[in-house]
């Protein structure tokens, strides 16, 4: 046994995945060659007990966390204890998850050859049911200091490593006050969120005293994934949608948008932000 409870789940050693950055020779508007970097993107099929569940397109840096976070956020797995083993096989572009007692949650159809499940960006048949559940949910009421937001923005800035080289990725960070516990980049914003959720699950990290920082716009789906993590505050450099706002209001999630050095907008939870760093 190990002091990392989740290590026992990873039956294979962690294989080197695909390269996160790929270089090519493009041609610019003057016809001159230019070296360009773009992010990797690989299919990764999530398999549960020998069945294909979904194929995710991912940067590939955190396949274990992605598989678990995806299964959790789709509400296909509710307890980590139900997972007997998890193995990544990049040669087959697959993650094999074995469960102890099978998956018997809504969406699992014993007669179908695959799970009726879908995924990202709100194009999902499970998603509408999830929305109904979330409308009932309440997050713990927290306070967020302006000085923490500023310090957090400084802390996350250097962590957009792939983005600075290759752009075309989104970053999601799990923070405690301004301390960044995990920073993930992926070609899909919902994958980045699922990876953070998967890591929290594996390491038994609770969400109530955490903040999620994300570079992406906060659609209903992203707000939903943050709520599943139990995290009551989210900061984005981007904006949000009406449905994202409605969900955040219902659940009491503090939402800070358009956040860049020295400026931000409080989209929700205005009375939970403490303006302790006002200038002048």
Closest approach of Cβ 218 to a copy of itself, in Å?
Answer: 8
Q: Which is nearer to a copy of itself, 10 or 243 (CB)?
A: 243
Q: How far is the CB of 61 from a copy of itself (least distance, A)?
A: 13
Closest CA relative to residue 117, chosen from 134, 129, 131? 129
Helix (H) or strand (E) segment spanning residue 228: helix 220-228
Report, in Å, the least distance between residue 204 CB and a copy of itself. Answer: 26
Least distance from C-beta 77 to a copy of itself, angstroms?
A: 16
Q: How far is the CB of 244 from a copy of itself (least distance, A)?
A: 7
Q: How many whole angstroms separate alpha carbon 167 and alpha carbon 187? A: 9
Contact 149, 256 (CB under 8 A): yes
Distance CA 270, CA 280 (A): 21
Query: CA 155 → CA 40, 50, 223, 255, distances in Å?
Result: 25, 41, 22, 18
Q: Which two tokens stand for residue 8?
A: 């026992």
Between residues 189 and 210, which has the closer beta carbon with respect to a copy of itself?
Answer: 189
Q: How far is CA 276 from CA 25, 176, 268, 269, in A?
A: 49, 18, 18, 16
Q: Which is nearer to a copy of itself, 156 or 205 (CB)?
A: 156
Nearer to a copy of itself by C-beta: 19 or 208?
19
Nearer to a copy of itself, 72 or 205 (CB): 72
The pair phi, psi for residue 66, each rounded to 5°, is -65, -45
Least distance in angstroms from the C-beta of 2 to a copy of itself? 31
Which stretches of 128-253 are assigned E, i.e. beta strand?
144-145, 170-176, 179-186, 211-214, 233-236
Nearer to a copy of itself (CB atom), residue 189 or residue 205: 189
54 burial (CB, 10 Å; 0-12 / 13-18 / 19+) is: buried
Cβ proximity to a copy of itself, 122 vs 252, nearer residue: 122
Q: How far is the CB of 167 from a copy of itself (least distance, A)?
A: 5
Minimum distance from CB of 63 to a copy of itself (Å)?
A: 14
List Cβ neighbours of 132 (8 Å cut-off, separation of 6 or more): none
Complex with a copy of itself: residue 29 or 101, whichever CB lies closer: 29
DSSP secondary structure string, 86-116? EEEETTTTEEEEEESS---STT--TTSSS--
Tell me, what DSSP letter sits at residue 188?
S
């Amino acid at each position: 046994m190990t002091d990392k409870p989740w290590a026992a789940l990873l039956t294979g050693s962690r294989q080197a995945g695909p390269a996160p950055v790929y270089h090519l020779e493009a041609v610019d508007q003057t016809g001159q060659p230019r070296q360009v970097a773009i992010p990797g993107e690989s299919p990764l099929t999530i398999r549960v007990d020998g069945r294909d569940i979904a194929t995710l397109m991912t940067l590939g840096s955190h396949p274990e966390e992605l598989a678990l976070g995806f299964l959790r956020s789709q509400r296909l797995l509710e307890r980590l204890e139900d997972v007997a083993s998890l193995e990544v096989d990049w040669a087959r572009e697959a993650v094999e998850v074995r469960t102890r007692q099978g998956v018997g949650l809504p969406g699992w159809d014993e007669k179908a050859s695959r799970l009726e499940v879908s995924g990202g960006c709100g194009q999902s048949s499970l998603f509408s049911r999830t929305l109904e559940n979330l409308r009932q949910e309440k997050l713990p009421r927290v306070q967020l200091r302006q000085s923490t937001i500023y310090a957090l923005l400084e802390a996350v800035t250097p962590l957009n490593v792939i983005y600075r080289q290759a752009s075309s990725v989104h970053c999601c960070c799990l923070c405690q006050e301004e301390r960044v516990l995990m920073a993930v980049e992926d070609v899909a914003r919902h994958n980045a969120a699922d990876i953070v959720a998967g890591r929290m699950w594996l390491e038994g990290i609770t969400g109530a005293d955490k903040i999620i920082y994300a570079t992406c716009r906060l659609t209903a789906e992203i707000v939903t994934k943050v709520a599943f993590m139990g995290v009551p505050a989210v900061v984005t450099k981007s904006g949000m949608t009406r449905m994202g706002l409605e969900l955040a209001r219902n659940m009491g999630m503090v939402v800070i948008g358009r956040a860049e050095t020295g400026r931000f907008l409080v989209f929700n939870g205005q009375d939970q932000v403490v303006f302790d760093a006002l200038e002048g």
